[in-house]
Amino acid sequence: MNLLTKAVRGTQDILPRDSYKIRYVEKTVMEIAENFGFKEIRTPVFEHTELFARSVGDTTDVVQKEMYTFEDKGGRSITLRPEGTAGVARAVLENGLLGDAAPLRASYITSCYRYEKPQAGRLREFHQFGVEMFGTASPAADAEVICLAKSIIDTLGLENISLQINSIGCPKCRARYLEALREYFGQYKDRLCETCLGRLERNPMRILDCKSEVCSEIAKGAPAMTDFLCDECWEHFKKVQAFLDAAGVYYTVNTSIVRGLDYYTKTVFEFVSDDIGSQGTVCGGGRYDGLIEELGGPATCGLGFGMGLERILLVMENQGCDFPQPDSPMIYLAPMTESAALECFSAVKTLRDEGFYAQTDVCGRGLKAQMKYANKIGAQYVAVVGEEELASGKIKLKDMESGAEKEINMADILDALYDISYDRTIGHLTEVAEKFGDPDKFPFA
């Protein structure tokens, strides 16, 4: 086939046969976030470039190498969002949301764009689930957003995911740490990669996150940020750990975690998997108490995380996690004549209006082809409608799993489906009762 074009490198199509998986993940993460009090927010796919340069940090790889930036027809510099937090912070400020009940809790599912080398778990267009919380300095809030992420990971059935936490302090104690890093890494100028040589003066903490084997080996001997924390930051970090301990959340302290964006302060954390190669971080976040002020707002504490949905799916598929199967049509009406096709079309419209998943022929197929199609789409019941059925007003409803047939009045097809749904619901509730208690005491049994 001579295609005009193909998908842009670093992007991917989500096909109908697989879309139920991502819908399940999206539904799960948003429901759990809502249980924690987070309400959905949606922001534009592009923003003025200065938003990301100021918030993300002009010394980061994201700003220097990875952003999709262009001039619009008005000569303004516009950037496709590389992450979700900056846009949410801008929206919160612009719309005066900081006056709402504190802490403000917002959640989102958003597409992001970074010009990176495509590989497993890393795309140029990817999707993030994220939460942001504004207006609280309490370490309990840090522990709560970590618990939210942990709840999602557990609910989705992911295994072998480790939680790693660190504190990168506040600007006051971090300044001393940066000087110590410059002194340490300065001894290895002749061995550092070209990128890290540039980082040495601008932001030496980024060297700790370098993927070069040489730089990673050198970084193992670097001073730890936790040795430079001021009393306030150290106390905050200890309390975060105390709250996690109280919640029974296991973690390890990893002093090499710095996160890739400049707006982070104090607590940073990552959930890491060993099942997707080098791109093992499936969720990362922390506190960013200076972000709102950096964007022109009042001094406001903030924290949150971003979770890569493609990486979550990759881990789930690699681990063989269960996905609820997509719904199949409850009924397929197979017309044999043109007049039957009109009757079936009308009936399917009525069934759909009542909330039933129903299909009928829209291709002019013969009966054999229609039955083959009904099997392929997994129709639970099939009824053949011809001139004889139209004359008698009766159809045979066939259970495609058992093969059993039941004759009903075509005018009563809606009632028949309601009866089937009711019986299934009672059966399910009875199973639950038998599993968790005495079925004789169960009101629906």
**Final residue before a domain boundary, out of 318, 340, 360:** 318
Spatial neighbors of 204 by CB under 8 A, at least 6 apart, are 178, 181, 182, 185
Is the residue at 189 inside a domain?
A: no
- Pair 313, 349 in one domain: no
DSSP per-residue letters across 228-266: S--HHHHHHHHHHHHHHHHTT---EE-TT---SSTT-EE
Can you tell me the distance from the alpha carbon of 389 to that of 383, in angstroms, rounded to the nearest whole number? 10
- Pair 27, 116 in one domain: yes
Least confident of 62-71, 257-266, 321-330, 373-382: 257-266
Question: What confidence score (pLDDT) does residue 330 get?
Answer: 95
- Binning pLDDT at 50, 70 and 90, where does residue 432 land? low
Is the residue at 356 inside a domain?
A: yes
* Residue whose entry in the numeric block shows the structure tokens 């993927």: 211
Could you tell me where the beta strands, DSSP code E, fall in 21-160? 39-40, 46-48, 69-71, 77-80, 104-113, 125-134
Is the residue at 40 inside a domain?
A: yes
Answer yes or no: are the C-beta atoms of 397 and 383 closer than 8 Å. yes
Q: Say whether pLDDT at 263 is over 90.
A: no
- Binning pLDDT at 50, 70 and 90, where does residue 63 land? low
- Pair 356, 311 in one domain: no
The dihedrals phi and psi of 409, each to the nearest 5 degrees, come to -75, 135
- Pair 418, 354 in one domain: yes
- Pair 76, 122 in one domain: yes
Question: CATH number for the domain including 355?
Answer: 3.40.50.800
Could you tell me where the beta strands, DSSP code E, fall in 141-195? 161-167
Can you tell me the distance from the alpha carbon of 211 to that of 119, in angstroms, rounded to the nearest whole number? 15
Q: Could you tell me what percent of the chain has a pLDDT over 90?
A: 67
Whether cis (ω within 30° of 0) applies to the bond prior to 171 is no
- Binning pLDDT at 50, 70 and 90, where does residue 423 land? confident
**Domain total in the chain:** 2
- Pair 254, 371 in one domain: no
Dihedral (C-alpha) 110, 113, 116, 117: value to the nearest 10 degrees? 70
Per residue in 273-308, pLDDT tens?
877 666 688 999 999 998 999 899 999 999 999 999
Is the residue at 84 inside a domain?
A: yes
Is the residue at 194 inside a domain?
A: no
Can you tell me the distance from the alpha carbon of 240 to that of 433, in angstroms, rounded to the nearest whole number? 40
Question: What confidence score (pLDDT) does residue 445 get?
Answer: 45
**Final residue before a domain boundary, out of 262, 291, 318:** 318
- Stated as kind and residue range, the H or E segment containing 408 is strand 405-409
Given 3-state DSSP classes, what are the helix, strand and coil percentages for the chain, each rounded to the nearest 5?
45, 20, 35
- Binning pLDDT at 50, 70 and 90, where does residue 421 land? confident
Answer yes or no: are the C-beta atoms of 109 and 274 closer than 8 Å. no
Give this prediction's pTM. Answer: 0.87
- Binning pLDDT at 50, 70 and 90, where does residue 175 land? confident
Question: What confidence score (pLDDT) does residue 435 get?
Answer: 66
Is the residue at 365 inside a domain?
A: yes
Question: What confidence score (pLDDT) does residue 200 get?
Answer: 85
- Binning pLDDT at 50, 70 and 90, where does residue 12 land? very high
Q: Say whether pLDDT at 161 is over 60.
A: yes
Is the residue at 373 inside a domain?
A: yes
The dihedrals phi and psi of 388, each to the nearest 5 degrees, come to -65, -45
Spatial neighbors of 341 by CB under 8 A, at least 6 apart, are 335, 360, 361
Is the residue at 157 inside a domain?
A: yes
pLDDT mean across residues, the chain? 90
- How many CB atoms are closer than 10 A to CB 39? 12
**Residue 110's beta-bridge partner residues?**
128
Q: What are the distances in angstroms from CA 41 to CA 34, 88, 443?
A: 12, 8, 40
- Pair 134, 269 in one domain: yes
- Binning pLDDT at 50, 70 and 90, where does residue 195 land? confident
- Binning pLDDT at 50, 70 and 90, where does residue 444 land? very low
Q: Say whether pLDDT at 145 is over 90.
A: yes
- Pair 137, 259 in one domain: yes
Spatial neighbors of 76 by CB under 8 A, at least 6 apart, are 48
Answer yes or no: are the C-beta atoms of 61 and 207 closer than 8 Å. no
Tokens of 20: 């139920």
* Residue whose entry in the numeric block shows the structure tokens 């200890």: 238
Range of the domain at 68: 19-170+230-318
Q: Say whether pLDDT at 356 is over 60.
A: yes
- Pair 301, 381 in one domain: no
Question: What confidence score (pLDDT) does residue 111 get?
Answer: 95
**Final residue before a domain boundary, out of 264, 296, 318:** 318
Can you tell me the distance from the alpha carbon of 412 to that of 395, in angstroms, rounded to the nearest whole number? 10
Question: CATH number for the domain including 107?
Answer: 3.30.930.10
Strands in 69-71's sheet, in edge-to-edge order, are 46-48, 77-80, 69-71
Q: Say whether pLDDT at 431 is over 80.
A: no
Least confident of 197-206, 213-222, 358-367: 197-206
Question: What confidence score (pLDDT) does residue 88 get?
Answer: 96
Per residue in 82-141, pLDDT tens?
999 999 999 999 999 999 999 999 999 999 999 888 877 788 999 999 999 999 999 999
Q: Say whether pLDDT at 58 is over 70.
A: no
